[in-house]
Amino acid sequence: MPRAEVAAAIVAGGDARRLGGAVKPLLVVEGRRIIDRQLDVLRPLFARVVIVANDPAPFAGLEVPVIPDRVGRGRGPLAGIDAALAWLPPDADAVVCVAGDMPFVSPAVLRALRDAPPADAVAPRPNGKLEPLCARYARALAPAIAGALAAGELAVHALLARPGVAFLEGDELRALDPTLLSFANVNTPGDLGV
Four-way CATH pick for 6-186: 3.90.550.10, 3.30.390.30, 3.40.50.720, 1.10.340.30 = 3.90.550.10
Whether the per-residue pLDDT at 3 is higher than 60: the answer is: no
Whether the per-residue pLDDT at 70 is higher than 80: the answer is: no
What is the per-residue pLDDT across 130-189, written as a single tens digit (0 to 9) for each?
999 999 999 999 999 999 998 888 888 888 998 999 999 999 999 999 999 999 887 655
Q: What is the pLDDT of residue 17?
A: 54
* pTM for the predicted model, two decimal places: 0.90
By CB atoms closer than 10 A (0-12, 13-18, 19+), residue 48 is: buried
Whether the per-residue pLDDT at 60 is higher than 80: the answer is: yes
Whether the per-residue pLDDT at 53 is higher than 80: the answer is: yes
Q: pLDDT class for 1, splitting at 50, 70, 90?
A: very low
Buried b or exposed e, range 112-146, using 16+ CB within 10 angstroms:
bbbebeebbbbbbebeeebbbbbbbbbbebbeebb
Sketch the domain layout of the chain as residue ranges: 6-186
Whether the per-residue pLDDT at 7 is higher than 80: the answer is: yes
Q: What is the mean pLDDT of residues 10-28?
A: 72
Using CA atoms, how far apart are residues 115 and 184, in angstroms rounded to an integer? 22
Q: pLDDT class for 74, splitting at 50, 70, 90?
A: low
What is the per-residue pLDDT across 80-118, written as a single tens digit (0 to 9) for each?
999 999 999 999 999 999 999 999 999 999 999 999 999
Q: What is the pLDDT of residue 98?
A: 97
Q: What is the pLDDT of residue 69?
A: 82
The angle at the Cα of 30, spanning 24 to 35, to the nearest 5 degrees, equals 35
Bridge partners (DSSP) of residue 99 are 11
Whether the per-residue pLDDT at 33 is higher than 80: the answer is: yes
